[in-house]
A and B are shown apart, each in its own frame.
Chain A
Amino acid sequence: MPNELRVMMLTWEFPPRIIGGISPHVYYLSRSLAKNAAKVYVVTCDFPGAPQHETLDGVEVYRIDSYKNPSPDFASWVYLMNMNMQKEAASLVRELGGVDIFHAHDWLVANAGIGLKHVFRRPLLATIHSTEYGRRNGIHSDYERMIHETEAWLTYEAWRVICCSNYMVSHVKWVFGLPEDKLVMIPNGVDAKECEKSEDIDLNQFRRKFALPEEKIVLFVGRLVYEKGIHVLINAVPKVLEKVNAKFVVVGNGYMQQSLSEYIKNIGFAHKVMFTGFVDDRTLRNLQKCADVSVVPSLFEPFGIVALEAMAAKSPVVVSDTGGLSEIVEHEVTGIKVYPNNPDSLAWGISRVLLDENLANRLRENAYRKVVEKFNWDKISQQTKKVYKNVLNEYSRTFWA
């Protein structure tokens, strides 16, 4: 198609390389942009077995050699990876005869994005998915400050900064001192069809692998780290069991796993909590479909994609009233909100859903409808494309054009 918008996406993770939420985000965004008449070139890190170049649903994916340089620590690895990413991306842009816009996701590709912007004199957009300040609850060392300043540098150099929730917009505005008109809120999305897709398996049979027939399933999905609030859920276990017979299924890995499973053993509820570790996508979807309630007890949550996925799988959700979760869930309409870091409040929310079938069904229906209406990728990619168009329009009046 002539005059097609050409976007170069920079991301440190893209399927099959999945470390956090950026990978699926960039995948779905790129795919729907490609469907909406944009040419998308994704430049990302390599992954064992994945090809250096492939065309995936209309998206051109380039994987660069990212473990070429020995590195003393993670941040140094990131900067060295950026050196290689920028080098490869520069060759690619030259080969393509130019692109219209660069779009970088988080500080992990800041250097490459900033360098390419100046070398090719094209606008740079940044999506800030999370901040060092938020992840660490403050800045406590030179290492953290360096990352924080790199994030600030990226937002400084970006023409627009996209955040996935109003909470993140105000957080990013405050933490980097950005002018308001530089920030845009575009929500994260979820592929409802994929979450809901029923497979030819007997869900009752599948359910039996995790819980007894008389036990309700309470599902937690996330890294087992402090900011995800898994310890709040563990502390809520005895309180929930006073009221209703349930099995707590905990999916994910993290440094807190051992101490939490020892704790649960010591208080005599080991048979009520199951740690599954990391599971594949299909098992996760089926678990979400079986769950009588999905719990997201995070203390810090820029967006809360896991709540959306549960909602798309028609599982009722109980979330802590914080960050992006506050915006996704409407209390008593699309889910139940509870006080963050409060096991009593969390236990109340879980019991409320498990003991009231009518409420649970109402939450499922409303939540699903909300997901399809507001958080669908088609809509999100159109909003994103509008931002590209606006930026390019402004750009066309500068001396760079």
Chain B
Amino acid sequence: MQVLIFSWEYPPRVVGKLADYVKELAVQLAKNMVETWMVTYHDYMTGEFEEDGVKTYRVTNSVKTHISVLTWVLTLNQEVERVAANIYYKVGGRIDLIDVQDWHFIPAAVTLKKAFGIPFVYSVESLEDHRSHGANSPFNMAIKSIEWLGMYEAGWVVVKSEWMADEAIRIYKVPETKIKVVKPGSARWIKTILEIYKSLKEGSP
């Protein structure tokens, strides 16, 4: 199995707790015979790296000046697409799926889905509604609209708690059958994720 993971934070760039989680995920996947390609952001440490069995690609933003994290994310996605496409062509199109961590690189995942038919998993660490405490300014709503797009286009929505599953259903009206709860640290954690990947690869959801 060949999997791309998109995450805006990945060690050594640690913003919150997502970075260490994604690192653990990538390393465990590689140990379980999944060909894992990590695509992430770094301000200047860009290029291709082999780290703990994980092929890691770091990109930077082509547009340096920004007015918000929203515009920053939206011009960064093309670099994610560029690297993902390079991997896609390098392996002769044999990419089974993308696991996109949080909302930042949903635009890239959706474009790659439309262009190549690669399905994706949307792994939710947090949602804008909680980060902004229910604020409904156009800025927050724009981010929510990207989260909605991710929920809508994803093959599976993976959340880390029952509570988050309820929130995804409440906020984005995601069908319950499209959500998988996978608790990090549980004994069956990586096994469950592999099962989710497998079902997406085989087109069962």
Binary A-proximity of B112-136 (CB < 8 A = 1, otherwise 0): 1011110000000000000000000
By a CB distance below 8 angstroms, the chain B residues around A111 are: 74-75, 77-78
Residues in B with CB closer than 8 Å to A150 are: 63, 75
Scan B95-124; emit 1 where CB is below 8 A from any A CB, else 0.
000000000000110111011110000000
Q: Are A90 and B115 interface neighbours, CB within 8 A?
A: yes
For B68, the chain A residues whose CB sits under 8 A away are 72, 76
Are B71 and A75 interface neighbours, CB within 8 A? yes
Among the stretches B38-46, B81-89, B187-195, the one at the interface with A is: B81-89
Dominant secondary structure of chain A at its interface with chain B: helix
Q: Smallest distance from the beta carbon of A174 to chain B beta carbons, Å?
A: 19
List B contacts of A99 (CB < 8 A): none
Interface size class of B (residues with CB under 8 A): 20 to 34
Q: Are A115 and B81 in contact (CB under 8 A)?
A: yes
Q: Interface stretch among B1-9, B10-18, B19-27, B138-146?
A: B138-146
| Residue A80 at the chain B interface, CB threshold 8 Å | yes
Are B63 and A153 neighbours in the complex by a CB distance under 8 Å? yes
Interface residues of A in 155-190 (CB under 8 A from B): 156
Q: Specify which of B70, B81, B112 is in contact with A76 (CB 8 Å cutoff).
A: B70
**CB-defined contacts of B77 to chain A, threshold 8 Å:** 83, 111, 115
A320 interfacial contact with B, CB 8 Å: no
Q: How far is the CB of A1 from chain B (nearest CB, A)?
A: 26
What sequence of 0s and 1s flags, for each residue 349-368 of chain A, a beta carbon within 8 Å of any chain B beta carbon?
00000000000000000000
* Residues of chain B contacted by A121 (CB below 8 angstroms): 85, 89
Could you say which residues of chain B place their CB within 8 Å of the CB of A93?
115
Q: Which residue of B lies closest to A154 (CB)?
A: B62
- Chain A contacts of B141 at CB under 8 A? 69-70
Check: B91 CB closer than 8 A to any chain A CB: no
| B30 to A: closest C-beta gap in Å | 26
Among the stretches A54-62, A141-149, A375-383, the one at the interface with B is A141-149
Of residues 60 through 116 on chain A, the ones whose CB sits less than 8 Å from some CB of chain B are 68-73, 75-76, 79-80, 82-83, 86-88, 90-91, 93-94, 111, 114-115
Which residues of A are found within 8 Å of B170, using beta-carbon distances?
none
Residues of A within 8 A of B81 (CB): 115, 118-119
CB pair A71 B138 closer than 8 Å: yes
- Cross-chain contact B111 with A86 (CB below 8 angstroms): yes
**Number of A positions contacting B (CB below 8 A):** 34
Q: Is the CB of B186 closer than 8 A to any CB of chain A? A: no
A87-B114, A90-B115 known; A149+B145 contact, CB < 8 A: no
Known contacts A86-B111, A115-B81; A149/B64 CB under 8 A: yes
Q: Beyond A111-B74, A153-B62, is A72–B111 a contact (Cβ under 8 Å)?
A: no
The answer to whether B115 touches A119 (Cβ under 8 A) is yes
- Grouping DSSP codes into helix (H, G, I), strand (E, B) and loop, the B interface class, with mixed when no group exceeds half, is helix
B137 at the interface (CB under 8 A from A): yes
In the complex, which residues of chain B have a beta carbon less than 8 angstroms from the beta carbon of A80? Answer: 74, 142, 145
Check B66 against A142 for contact (C-beta < 8 Å). yes
Question: In the complex, A72 Cα to B69 Cα: how many Å?
Answer: 12
State whether A149 touches B74 (Cβ < 8 A): no
Q: Is A133 an interface residue (CB 8 A)?
A: no
Min CB–CB distance B75 → chain A (angstroms): 6
> Does A269 belong to the interface (CB within 8 Å)?
no
A275 within 8 A of B: no
**Chain A contacts of B62 at CB under 8 A?**
114, 149, 153, 156
Nearest neighbor of B141 in chain A, beta-carbon distance: A70
**In the complex, which of the residues A68, A75, A83, A153 has the most CB atoms of chain B within 10 Å of its own CB atom?**
A83
Instruction: Fill in one digit per residue for B51-69: 1 if any A CB lies within 8 Å of its CB, else 0.
Output: 0000000000011111110
Q: Is the CB of A90 within 8 A of B142?
A: no
Closest to B65 in A: A145
Contact pick for B111, options A115, A142, A156, CB 8 Å: A115
Distance in angstroms between the alpha carbons of A90 and B74 in the assembled complex: 17
Interface core residue of B62, B66, B78, B137 (most chain A CB under 10 Å): B78
Contact with B along A108-136 (1 / 0, CB 8 A): 00010011001111000000000000000
* B126-171 contacts to A (CB < 8 Å): 137-139, 141-142, 145-146
> Which 8 interchain pairs have the tightest Cβ spacing?
A79-B74, A70-B141, A90-B114, A118-B82, A90-B115, A145-B65, A69-B145, A72-B138
23 interchain pairs, CB-CB under 8 A: A69-B141, A69-B146, A70-B145, A71-B138, A72-B142, A76-B74, A79-B70, A80-B145, A87-B111, A94-B114, A111-B74, A114-B62, A114-B78, A115-B77, A115-B82, A115-B108, A121-B89, A142-B67, A146-B67, A146-B71, A149-B65, A150-B63, A153-B62
